[in-house]
């Protein structure tokens, strides 16, 4: 891909990949700036569900303008394959940071507040992220948290809209696969039930728990065990106590995960 021109973006290097697409550093030849260019995988371009989700990512994120949400600059198609252009971020994902262990309480609080502010902006636009996890949170070199990947976000029906079916409001794709990462998904998501903003709050609670303790809130030996833990168990409070997490923070985590 290096050197190829897509739209008016010249590909410089590959910087990442995900379930549906690959991300490249590219040069916007009109404005003379480097951007992140996300291309859908060729194997997925014929999958209507993947195309729908890819386009939904662009629509959802482009509707938002907030310092804690990655900015979308452009969207288009190249030989039938869609692409999204967004701001190029320097730093690391929260997952990579968590690989070093728990965060200091003050830093975890700062990150959580930034995530919350980004989610408020999304929820005010009736957009639910639905796949919030450390891999989809990016910490820039200057300490700003950016929410990434609205690929499985869902635009909620506006008040009074009733033409959507129940199937349209669940987290189940047309192939029947549940979208997202089970360790951070809310119980209603795992059951394939309709979701609202509270699902994102649950996910943020699980992330805050992990930032404070260095351990996942819900963990099992298998995916099924993890799902069972989310549905039926509370995360071990002992981990919060051992990490000397203030009682008020423990209560916030518990409230998110109610």
Cβ contacts of 16 within 8 Å, gap of 6 or more: 22, 23
Residue 120 belongs to what H/E stretch? helix 105-124
Question: What is the rounded distance in angstroms from the CA atom of residue 75 to the CA atom of residue 253?
Answer: 37
Closest CA to 43 of 73, 19, 67, 69: 19
β-pairing, 33-40 vs 72-78, is unpaired
Per the structure block, which two tokens stand in for 234?
Answer: 């509370």
Closest CA to 114 of 77, 149, 75, 70: 70
**Catalytic site includes residue 131:** yes
- Buried (b) or exposed (e) across 168-177, using 16+ Cβ within 10 A? eebbeeeeee
Of 28, 131, 149, 200, the catalytic one is: 131
- Per the CB < 8 A criterion, the answer to whether 240 and 253 are in contact is yes
The secondary structure of residue 70, as a DSSP letter, is P
Residue 10 belongs to what H/E stretch? strand 9-17
- Per the CB < 8 A criterion, the answer to whether 221 and 214 are in contact is no
Q: Across the chain, which distance is largest between two alpha carbons, in Å?
A: 56
Which residues are tagged catalytic?
131
């Amino acid at each position: 891909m290096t050197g190829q021109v897509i739209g008016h973006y010249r590909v410089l290097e590959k910087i990442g990949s995900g379930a549906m697409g690959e991300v490249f550093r590219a040069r916007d030849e009109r404005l003379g700036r480097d951007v992140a260019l996300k291309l859908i995988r060729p194997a997925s371009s014929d999958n209507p569900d993947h195309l729908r989700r890819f386009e939904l990512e662009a629509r959802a994120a482009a509707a938002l303008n907030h310092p804690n949400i990655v900015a979308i600059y452009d969207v288009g198609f190249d030989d039938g394959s869609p692409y999204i252009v967004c701001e190029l971020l320097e730093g690391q994902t929260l997952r990579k940071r968590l690989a070093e262990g728990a965060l200091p309480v003050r830093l975890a609080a700062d990150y959580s507040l930034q995530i919350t502010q980004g989610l408020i902006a999304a929820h005010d636009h009736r957009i639910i992220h639905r796949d919030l996890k450390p891999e989809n949170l990016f910490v820039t070199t200057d300490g700003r948290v950016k929410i990434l990947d609205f690929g499985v976000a869902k635009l909620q029906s506006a008040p009074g809209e009733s033409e959507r079916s129940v199937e349209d409001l669940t987290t189940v794709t047309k192939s029947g696969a549940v979208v997202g990462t089970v360790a951070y998904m809310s119980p209603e998501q795992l059951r394939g039930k309709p979701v609202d903003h509270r699902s994102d709050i649950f996910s943020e609670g699980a992330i805050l728990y992990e930032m404070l303790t260095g351990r996942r809130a819900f963990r099992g030996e298998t995916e099924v065990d993890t799902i069972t833990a989310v549905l039926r168990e509370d995360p071990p409070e002992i981990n919060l106590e051992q990490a000397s997490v203030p009682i008020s923070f423990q209560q916030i985590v518990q409230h998110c995960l109610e």
